[in-house]
Amino acid sequence: AKQVAAFLQGIFEGPDPMQLTPDAPRGLAMTAGQLLESGVRRLDGDLADQPAVQASLLSVLGSTDASLGEYPRAVRLLERADGALATLDPPDLPLMARVANALGSAYREAGDLPRAEAAQRSAYRRILGMAGPDDFSTAVVGNDLAIQLWSMGRLDEAEPLMREALRVFRRAPDPDDPALATAISNHAIVLRNLGRFEEAEPLYREALPDKVAFFKLFTLRGLRTKRFLLGSVLGVTLTGI
């Protein structure tokens, strides 16, 4: 962790690029993308023999590129991170799960849904084989794959993965984690869309208090969430709550 932090600090140290004008001397004006490219070059030179640190940094740099909308470059970096992670023994399962999610998201945002599904399905099989069905990392990647399949309209395939992920999520140390309420409500929505209303209703009732309690911190979003969940139960759009 210290190596990762020190490397990232090194990328961004020096003159603040936000304070430099286009005519700054010696070509000092740098965009965020140029800083990231510089970081990748340094990574290849300084950390070539440290795959674990490389994988962590490639994940950070790739995710940052994705947030900037640089999806082709994000995909390249995240694919490299995935490859580096495959060489580690013992494996870093939480990081593998994060990279799989980021890579699938980058493919999806780039409009390549088949590759998004393939990346997440491959990661799910790999982590499932390493850690088994009860590991939290397996559940995270399985849930990400389920959401990908849901976005492609393949609800019959998504629902069992959501159900299995939720089984593991319920054992999380913090039962009030908003992510758990999100997973419950997502599963409920999929069940309702499949016409399985009797299975969906108790999940909606379970998720609603947690959702509303969490979003009380953000009043407008809380009202929208409450309206959305109640409307989903009833199968209508509510505007007066």
d(CA 53, CA 39) in angstroms, rounded, equals 13
Mean of per-residue pLDDT scores for the chain = 75
Element (H, E) at 189: helix 178-193
* Position 92 confidence tier, pLDDT thresholds 50, 70, 90: confident
The pLDDT of residue 213 is: 45
The pTM score is 0.66
d(CA 171, CA 21) in angstroms, rounded, equals 53
Sign of the Cα torsion 97, 99, 102, 105 reads: negative
First to last CA, the chain: 46
Yes or no: say if 238 and 225 are a contact pair by the CB < 8 Å rule: no
Q: Greater confidence, 176 or 18?
A: 176
Give pLDDT tens digits for 35-90: 666 666 666 666 666 778 888 888 888 888 888 888 888 898 899 888 888 888 88
Give pLDDT tens digits for 206-228: 877 655 544 443 344 444 444 44
Q: Greater confidence, 36 or 24?
A: 36
